[in-house]
Chains A and B, each alone.
Chain A
Amino acid sequence: MASETIALSVVNHGTRPIGDRLHDWVVTVDHKKLGILYILYALMFLVIGGIEATIMRIQLIVPHNHFVSPEVFNRMFTMHGTTMIFFVVMPFLFGFANYLVPLMIGARDMAFPRLNAFSFWLMALGGFLLYFSFVGGNGLYGAGNAPDVGWWAYAPLTSRAFSPGHSTDYWTLALLVSGFGSIGTAINIIATILCMRCPGMTLGKMPLLAWLNLVMAGMVILAVSPLTAAQMMLSIDRYLGGHFFDTQAGGSATIWMHFFWIFGHPEVYVLVIPAFAFASEIIPVFSRKPIFGYPVMVAATVCIGFVSMSVWAHHMFTIGMNSYANSFFVITTMAVGVPTGIKIFNWIGTMWGGKIEFKTPMLFCIGFLFQFVIAGLTGIMLGTAPFDWQLGGSYFVVAHFHYMIVGGILFALFAAFYYWYPKITGRMLNESLGKLHFWLLLVGFHLTFDAMHIPGLLGMPRRIYTYEPGRGWEVWNLITTIGTFIQGIAILLFVANLIFSHWKGPKAGNDPWDAWTLEWSVSSPPPEYNFAKIPVVKSRRPLWDLKHPEDPDWKYE
């Protein structure tokens, strides 16, 4: 009998003074604590980013509204976008990766625990800097406080001439600092997965979550670095009189776009691939079957990783590239849809012939699947360049990417929460509240983001603080805003569930879902050192082998 758990008594921390316990959290290098810190940090910014979105939606509920001034609105969309991408979704995903990867590969921690802590605190500093701009960003009269240049910060709007004061610098510095943190985490994930798998866990036998986070980390290394370079160049322009993006001196506005989107496009795959990972772990467990086509799923993801580095200028179809360049980016954009579609079919194939249990994690995965398909299809529409000449820069695009990020990634994240919260805290989240959360969010999400496509089809551009009446946009904006409130309630319910269940939720035990990967072999929450004995595995589902010794996976793989 190879890997059996050894019964342990949970160390009682209750008697230690609160100061000591907080100190533990501040100085920790333990991947589990850091994972939780990332997740809590992201949750806080999710609420803040949601408030920013709500402010915008109230301003847009009717034409010529005066809820906020144009200055405030422009800061809102800049901060909302920057916050949600860099200080909500990325920390959520890094948090889950940090927590889960060592446990799932049978390791005791990440490869570089101190680098891990350093990376978290860099990211935290970045978020703090970005929001400090509200207080500290006052420069010249009329220069504003928080950045208001859009989260892509196109040049030359970001030059000193058009953005005086320091607001843009807070944007640049916040992302530069947190970018270094992201690269640090990526290095850690790669080294952990390549160098610390338990005996028997070849690359072909590790959980898909590990594979997908490996690809994600590789993409962070290759994609965040160009953004870092571009931020340095922008700072040189703004502070040292450089001319990288200074069109008056012969510089190019489009080169910023290229550098930004070489980061920006792979970045969205960095965001979505871990969401794929969650779905790939949860759907099999609640269908009671292994993932369909494991090798193809790996190959498709690696393929997505590579091809996605070549599609960036589909964000730039309208800038006047010649027809050959535009055509090139059309074909690469469509090409990346093929491996993505394969994954969708594989998830359906996993559910096919299974015995599906509609617990909350699975509900969220189904929502993810459904919405991800739609988002992918609107993505294909946007990928056909001439169609993009109409749809790009409009509310259709805004609807598309929110479908991806909220309908896809956030739903998958909620699935991950409901699935792994028992492992992290030792208690189950309340199932009824969870289902309520799911249905409310589903309704609110669809109200908002289905309706949002239509003003784009009717000519409404994005990033406008108000709009003209009589263009057919009013009713759709109204519906969009109403959905926002319903989503807000759903998320607040979720936060309440998180807090309530921590103390009152039923005890989870090691393996509440009857799952098959290594994290379910240890206690909930896991001991500080994860595994008393490093496990030895023979297949992709070591716990299936233990539970079904008459029919183990390694006979078929």
Chain B
Amino acid sequence: MKGTRHQKEWGRVGGPVAGVFMLLAGVLLAVGLCSAASGPAIPSIFKPESTPADSIYGLSLLVLTITGLIFVIVFGLIAYVLAKFRRRSDDGPEPPQVYGSNQIEIAWTVIPVLIVLVLFMATARVIHAIQDARMPKGAIEVTAIGHQFWWEFRYPGLGVVTANELHVPVSDPSHPTPTFLKLLSADTDHSFWVPRLAGKTDLIPNRVNNMWIDPHETGVYVGQCAQYCGMQHAKMLLRVYVDSREQFEHWVQEEKKSTQLSDAVNEGRRIFETTACVNCHTVSGTVADGRFGPDLTHLMSRDTIASGGAANTPENLKTWIQVPDSIKPGSLMPAMKLNDHDLDALTAYLETLR
């Protein structure tokens, strides 16, 4: 009888304890799996490709190790206490009434203080390394301006203006060409977050912030706005194209060109320049010089429109112009209410903006 009851009682506590253990193991496994998650499209913070993200990753390993150890110790203590000191029979005297112990209190004060000091020093080093880094000579300078709900990118040194898709050169450690970004906002708070390249930094109106990236591998890195900025915060997406040096030079050259005016799309251009489009958009080399919306001079050089809201296809362009709310409800692009003929002509014109 006693043996049975003993087993049953173990089951009462052992079962749940084991269950929770398994749950934890599952979680850890999942974390492990997703940190090994493949695919460049997955913006995992555990797959850094740029020095700021690398430094953070390194720090995170230290922090995870320390917190993991603390967890194992504390959880082990709790599990042990629950198993060993559970009430085993119904009637028994009260256990010894222990009120405290000064030595133990000192021990479990001093050790956490030491852990805190170690963590702090490691952290302060990384903070300084990332925030106080000096801009080297070969750096690309970009001014990023956050808008509701799109990104404006200006390259003051190169005379390039674009939107939503940021092109930067890959940075070779022997001849570093990092990109240093100055972050501004035209309206509310935003945050620039491309996890594989760097931690996030906010864009705050009436304030200038700075960040930098030096990507090691070419490719496309995705991110999005990480500070709630209004209705369409969710679709203020980011794409960073890390090009090889040659690709980047080529891209810059293309972006610097003004529009090539083509007669075939005169009608579309006329529609563009005589409706409200010019109030918000710029097409360099024409009369359109609005700055409220993205610069469209090289619209077709981008893979997406509506800051990542849709792929850049003629169909999507038409939908975006006619019914923007179907792609991004609440975005500040007004529905232009054109008839089908005008819409086709306009789209044809926009398709020439390479």
Contacts and interface: CB of A to CB of B under 8 A. Distances in A.
Interface of A: 69-71, 74, 148-150, 154, 156-157, 162, 247-248, 250-254, 287-290, 292-296, 318-320, 322-323, 326-327, 330-331, 334-335, 337-338, 341-342, 344-346, 348-349, 351-358, 366, 369-370, 373-374, 377-378, 380-381, 384-394, 439, 442, 446, 450-451, 453-454, 457-459, 461-468, 470-472, 548, 551, 553, 556-557
Given A384-B59, A472-B42, A352 B234 contact: no
A252 to B, nearest CB: 7
Contact of B30 (A346, A352, A369, A454): A454
Contact of A386 (B55, B70, B205): B55
Interface string B142-165: 000000100000000000000000
A353 B98 CA distance: 9
B330 A353 contact: no
Contacts of A346: 105
Contacts of B278: none
Given A356-B86, A369-B78, A377 B71 contact: yes
A394 B226 contact: yes
B187 A156 contact: yes
B200 A294 contact: no
A294 B99 contact: yes
Interface string B163-198: 000000000000000000001000111010101001
Nearest to A544: B97
B100 A468 contact: no
A384 B100 contact: no
B228 A70 contact: no
Contact of B82 (A247, A351, A392): A351
Contact of B189 (A154, A290, A388): A154
Given A253-B189, A296-B100, A337-B116, 12 more contacts: A71-B329, A251-B206, A293-B99, A318-B191, A320-B202, A330-B127, A385-B123, A390-B56, A390-B60, A458-B37, A459-B45, A471-B42
Nearest to B110: A338
A155 B311 CA distance: 33
Given A337-B112, A351-B81, A461-B224, A381 B204 contact: no
Contacts of A466: 234-235
Contact of B108 (A162, A341, A358): A341
Contacts of B198: 389
B59 A289 contact: no
Contacts of B123: 327, 330, 384-386
**Looking at B81, B119, B201, which has the most chain A CB atoms within 10 Å of its CB?**
B81
Given A323-B128, A459-B44, A293 B101 contact: yes
| Consensus secondary structure, chain A interface | helix
Contacts of A355: 85-88, 92, 94-95
B134 interface: no
Contacts of A378: 67
A71 B100 CA distance: 55
B35 interface: yes
Most central of A288, A390, A442 by chain B CB within 10 Å:
A390
Contact of B120 (A334, A377, A389, A557): A334
A384 B82 contact: no
Given A358-B12, A472-B34, A289 B131 contact: no
B113 interface: yes
A294 B97 CA distance: 13
Interface string B327-339: 0011000000000
B109 interface: yes
A417 to B, nearest CB: 21
B127 A150 contact: no
A471 B228 contact: no
Interface in B111-151: 112-113, 116, 119-120, 122-124, 126-128, 130-132, 148
Given A457-B34, A457-B45, A327 B226 contact: no
B230 A253 contact: no
B326 to A, nearest CB: 11
A335 B123 CA distance: 14
A154 B207 CA distance: 15
A348 B329 contact: no
B276 interface: no
